[in-house]
Structure 1
Amino acid sequence: MAAAIDSVCDYRQQLTTGASYTFNNYGSPNSYPIGSDCRWWVQGDVDTRVYLTCTIDIPLTSNCGGDKFRVSLIGDGTYFSDARNYCGLQTISLVSTRNTLAVEMYSTIYSSGGVFSCSIKAVRNPVTTTTPAPTCDCGWKQATRIVGGDDTGVHEYPSMAALLDNSILEVICGAVILNQRYVMTAAHCPTIVTMDKMSILVGGWDMSQVDSTKEYEVSNYWKHPQYDANTQINDIAIVQSRYLIAFSLDVGPICLPFIYEQYNFNYQSVTLLGWGQTFYNGPSSDILQKVNVQVTNNSYCQKMMPGNQITQAQICTYASGKDACQHDSGGPVIWQDSVSRRLYAVGVISYGLGCATNRPAVNTRVTSYLDWIVNIIQDYGFCMK
């Protein structure tokens, strides 16, 4: 059945790519009228998708059977056939599957009222290159060819990158590819060496064999503006390559967890990657290493690390005798969707107390920084899956 939209609050907007827009409930700053049914329909350019973030405060009911905030990610503003329903007090972040998106705010005649506020932006899909990976793809994983131990397979993780001190050809931190121009790492990493000595390495597996690797000069980097070097809170950075990174089956972007923005990933198995030291103050590994650990809840993490402040913008991991170590910082914490099999960067390796101790490691939670990431990398697009 088609939505019975009130004509006084039926809005349409054509979006300019990259521009930010805001909209609030009809009647703002006061509550929306009871018994109202309002719609917002937006459209971006053909090569864009729409990124929506809203804070809603409306009555909470079972299955949102009363007042409901509805979002169609295909932009079906007539029937809302794919609509997701929300109610209560919460913040939601969603990405459209096309270049259109529709929002409906339905209120019953028995409503006590409520408010909401949204921001919206159309962002470009990734550009294609002469050596593309599959069009608009991310988070793929190669068939494994394990050499031994905790070694990864050859090019098993195409999105893995490294920050290199090119004056001594040494890995200083891990990183992960977001698109053809940007990689993500920890905020404490880009300051280890001067920018003229730092480069981005992609396609790496065995660092003693450089035939398959490609090195790119760094042209800029952005540390999170609220990064605290003492607490390592907001330990996230974006590094820009001077030239386009050539994608192939062996080199390509990780998926960002837009559709899992509300997940905390507690007790999920995740994978840490890096060429760092294999034990505390030990030698670094030539071959990219992987270790599977479990996400812990933040209250347990705080209990185990009483001298450190653990925030909701951090994600802790632990497994007995397993951990990231020195020079693994900045590398991704990867979660694999069990249905799509895509890999998502849900964390950035930040710090631990030693390596593989009986305490969790602390990582930066990527879902807390999606807006900030998009604002930086959107000029070269990214794939939303």
Structure 2
Amino acid sequence: MGKARRRGRGALAGAVLAGAALVLQGAPPAAAVVGGDRADIGKYPWTVALTSQDVKEPECAGTLVAPRKVLTASHCVSPATVDRVRVVGGREDLRGTRKGTVRKVSKLWIHPRADTEGNGATYAHDLAVLTLDAPMPYRTLPLATPAQQKLYEEGAPNRVLGWGSTTGREDDTTVPPLQTALIPNRGDEQCVTAYGTRRYRKSFTMCVGYPAGGVSACSGDSGGPVVVKGRLVGVISGGGSCTSRRYPGVAVKTASYYALLQSRIAG
């Protein structure tokens, strides 16, 4: 598996891009992504895990956008290691069951402007499309279109999903069942303050988090879906911690890349 922004299990937040958690308006819910609830894979059948070859350690998540296409974050995969990636669909508990479908990756496309490492790192363009070696038998999720800008309004509830840490600790090796949480669109200004205009680019990225913090995508959730009204509005990309109110999470806006992504999905 390619280097993720946090070492080990993928990561919403990345050490390279110092800054935060995926954090609705008001106080967060009390439940455990961090602060989320167990998800029923039957309700979110397009959510898939990117795992190691033994299909036990989830590194990242992704979204089934066509029967043989998965959209994820570019920092989750690399050309050198993609042959060792396994994509798991229809499996809510990765360690407690062997239900579902496992596929290999036959082709990888990474956004040509993706730059998630080093001093020039940015959240923009952190996108990759995986072509699977055979179709997945699950419902797919459509992308948000450029005409659907209301889906990105400040305060809109964003559903995030993943198999990442529920404790907020970067060294947490526990693999929970699929988790989900509703997290509000925070508007751009908090993320501009937290990350600066070079790392956080309004045209390409979205800021998500509770003002109080505490609810977040975390290590292992990178590449996972951000969903509003049945549309894939974002791909979980980065942040600085899993619980901080000062550093909201960042996702890549799918609508900003709609034509490009559709061409890759159809190809």
1:283 alignment partner, one of 173, 184, 188: 173
**How far apart are residue 307 of structure 1 and its match?**
7.9
The yes-or-no answer on 1:208 pairing with 2:100 is no
The yes-or-no answer on 1:325 pairing with 2:213 is no
Q: Conserved in 1, the CA contact under 8 Å of 2:146 and 2:256?
A: no
Corresponding residue number in structure 2 for 1:361:
249
Cα distance change of structure 1 residues 305 and 375 upon mapping to structure 2, 3 Å threshold: same
**How far apart are residue 267 of structure 1 and its match?**
1.4
Task: Specify the code of the residue in structure 2 equivalent to 1:280.
Answer: R
**How far apart are residue 228 of structure 1 and its match?**
1.1
1:144-183 → structure 2 map (5 Å cutoff) = 150-167=37-54, 169-183=56-70
More relative contact order in 1 or in 2 (CA 8 Å, sep 6+)?
Answer: 2
Q: Conserved in 1, the CA contact under 8 Å of 2:161 and 2:181?
A: yes
* Aligned counterparts of 1:295 and 1:217: Cα–Cα separation in 2: 34
The yes-or-no answer on 1:335 pairing with 2:228 is yes
Corresponding residue number in structure 2 for 1:233:
124
For normalisation by structure 2, the TM-score amounts to 0.77
**How far apart are residue 291 of structure 1 and its match?**
1.4
* Aligned counterparts of 1:361 and 1:335: Cα–Cα separation in 2: 16
- Number of residue pairs aligned between Structure 1 and Structure 2: 224
1:350 alignment partner, one of 211, 232, 237: 237
* Aligned counterparts of 1:309 and 1:295: Cα–Cα separation in 2: 18
Superposed CA offset, 1:122-151 (max 9, x none): xxxxxxxxxxxxxxxxxxxxxxxxx9x711
1:1-385 → structure 2 map (5 Å cutoff) = 150-167=37-54, 169-191=56-78, 194-229=81-116, 230-246=121-137, 251-258=138-145, 260-263=147-150, 264-278=152-166, 279-281=168-170, 282-306=172-196, 309-311=199-201, 312-319=203-210, 320-336=213-229, 343-358=230-245, 359-379=247-267
Tell me which stretches of 4 or more aligned residues in structure 1 moved more than 6 Å.
none
Q: Conserved in 2, the CA contact under 8 Å of 1:151 and 1:287?
A: yes
**How far apart are residue 308 of structure 1 and its match?**
5.6
**How far apart are residue 216 of structure 1 and its match?**
0.5
Superposed CA offset, 1:284-337 (max 9, x none): 43300111111021123202334863112001100221011011000011112x
Cα distance change of structure 1 residues 254 and 168 upon mapping to structure 2, 3 Å threshold: closer
5+ residue gaps, structure 2, are: 1-31
Percent identity, aligned pairs only, is 27
Superposed CA offset, 1:30-52 (max 9, x none): xxxxxxxxxxxxxxxxxxxxxxx
* Aligned counterparts of 1:283 and 1:190: Cα–Cα separation in 2: 20
**How far apart are residue 259 of structure 1 and its match?**
6.7
Q: Secondary structure at the match of 1:188?
A: helix
Q: Conserved in 2, the CA contact under 8 Å of 1:318 and 1:361?
A: yes
* Aligned counterparts of 1:322 and 1:288: Cα–Cα separation in 2: 15
Cα distance change of structure 1 residues 368 and 307 upon mapping to structure 2, 3 Å threshold: closer
Quick check: which one's strand share is greater? 1
* Aligned counterparts of 2:157 and 2:70: Cα–Cα separation in 1: 24
**How far apart are residue 184 of structure 1 and its match?**
0.3
Q: Secondary structure at the match of 2:244?
A: coil
